[in-house]
Amino acid sequence: MPYIMIQTNAKIDAVRSQEIASQISSFAAKQLSKPESVVMTAIEANTAMTFGGSAAPAAYVEVKSIGFPAAKAAEHSAAFCGFLEKELGLPKNRVFIEFTDIKGALWGYNGGTC
């Protein structure tokens, strides 16, 4: 049950935001080896944000998933940063990513937990 939230100060219109949300959904499913039917994505674009004291384009990304393997965090960081650089033009050194391994008992879904 991965959840990917991208907060960025990049100027992205509503149509492009929806396109990116769809693209990151299929990308994350493949990257995290999860079925896309349980992937949720969200984008908050045009957000007031600074990184290193600069308002240049940057992003904060949350990747939460049941059973997230800490041993693969660096590999996933490279992949997600590469995606953001390619699709949004965000330099890799202007992206923070928070990876969280969620316990299934603490992840609500479909009226229950996982």
The Cα–Cα gap between 110 and 114 comes to: 9
To the query of whether residue 2 is one of the catalytic residues in this protein, the response is: yes
The whole domain housing 15 covers: 3-113
Which of 2, 57, 69, 91 does the annotation list as catalytic? 2
Model confidence pLDDT, tens digit, residues 63-79: 999 999 999 999 999 99
d(CA 93, CA 28): 20
| Domains in the chain, number | 1
User: In terms of pTM, does the model score above 0.85?
Assistant: yes
For residue range 81-111, list pLDDT tens digits in order. Answer: 999 999 999 999 999 999 999 999 999 999 9
Average pLDDT, stretch 51-59?
A: 97
Please give the share of the chain, as a percent, with pLDDT higher than 90. Answer: 96
Predicted confidence at residue 44, as pLDDT, reads 96
Q: What share of the chain is helix, strand, coil (3-state, %, to 5)?
A: 40, 30, 30
> For residue 57, what pLDDT is reported?
97
CATH number at residue 31: 3.30.429.10
Q: What is the mean pLDDT of the chain?
A: 96
The model's pLDDT over 3-26, given as tens digits with 9 standing for 90+, comes to 999 999 999 999 999 999 999 999
CA distance 100 to 1: 12
